[in-house]
Structure formats: structure tokens, C-alpha cells
Amino acid sequence: MTDINAFIDEKVKNNDVFLFMKGTPDFPQCGFSGQVVQILSYLGVDYDSANVLDSMELRDGVKAYSNWPTIPQLYVKGEFIGGADITREMFQSGELQQHLQQAGIAVKQTA
């Protein structure tokens, strides 16, 4: 599983905002992934993503990497933020926007 860990590590560390999700931003394959995509799109945040449905190795690897059992998983500047519920709660409270701005990531919408 070292190859998949290296892949995950590279994505997390070389992208300011990275989302492991089911599906793609244009076609999310689950409601939770769709919620995070909507939040990031609303905020106008540039991010990259990987579809965990493309590979069982990736799907399992992401869960092991973060020690978090569910997908989607959002990372900001290499830091694991959380899944859909945490991202949504942070967004609703304004904490996500603040966290992104403090990390130097442009946010178009703040409320």
C-alpha cells in the first residue's frame, strides 16, 4: 500500500485544497460529496479532487491515511479538515471561510 500512500501524500501536500470524493466535481456520485463540492464552488475556492470510486485501493488508502472512515475527505494545505458534516458545519459557522483565508486561499463568498 506504499504506492497509494505516496499518491495520496503527493495530492494532499501539493494542492492547497484537495478533495477525495465519490465521483467528480461535475458529477458527484453521492450526496455528501455533492455537498462539499457545492460549498467549495459557492466559496469560489480552486481545488483539485480524486474519485475514490476509480480504485478500491485508493478508497481504502484514503481512509487509512486520514484514519477517518468516510468519504468525502477535505484537505487544506496538507491538513485534514473532515468529511461532509464537519465541512458543512464549519461553512455554516463561517469557520471554514476563516480557515481558508488564514491559509492564504482566496475565498469569493464569505457568507
**Which residue range(s) make up the domain with 63?**
3-103
Work out the pLDDT band at 110, boundaries 50, 70, 90: low
Give 38-74 pLDDT, tens digit per residue: 999 999 999 999 999 999 999 999 999 999 999 999 9
Question: Considering the domain boundaries, does residue 34 fall inside one?
Answer: yes
Question: Considering the domain boundaries, does residue 31 fall inside one?
Answer: yes
Give 5-28 pLDDT, tens digit per residue: 999 999 999 999 999 999 999 999
- Give the residue-averaged pLDDT of 79-106: 96
The number of domains in the chain is: 1
Q: Residue 52 maps to which CATH number?
A: 3.40.30.10
Q: Residue 2 has what pLDDT?
A: 76
Question: Considering the domain boundaries, does residue 109 fall inside one?
Answer: no
Question: Considering the domain boundaries, does residue 62 fall inside one?
Answer: yes
Question: Considering the domain boundaries, does residue 72 fall inside one?
Answer: yes
Question: Considering the domain boundaries, does residue 33 fall inside one?
Answer: yes
- Angstrom distance (rounded) from CA 21 to CA 80: 14
111 exposure class (CB count in 10 Å sphere: 0-12, 13-18, 19+): exposed
pTM of the model: 0.94
Question: Considering the domain boundaries, does residue 70 fall inside one?
Answer: yes
Q: Residue 111 has what pLDDT?
A: 55
Is 30 marked as a binding-site residue?
yes
Question: Considering the domain boundaries, does residue 12 fall inside one?
Answer: yes
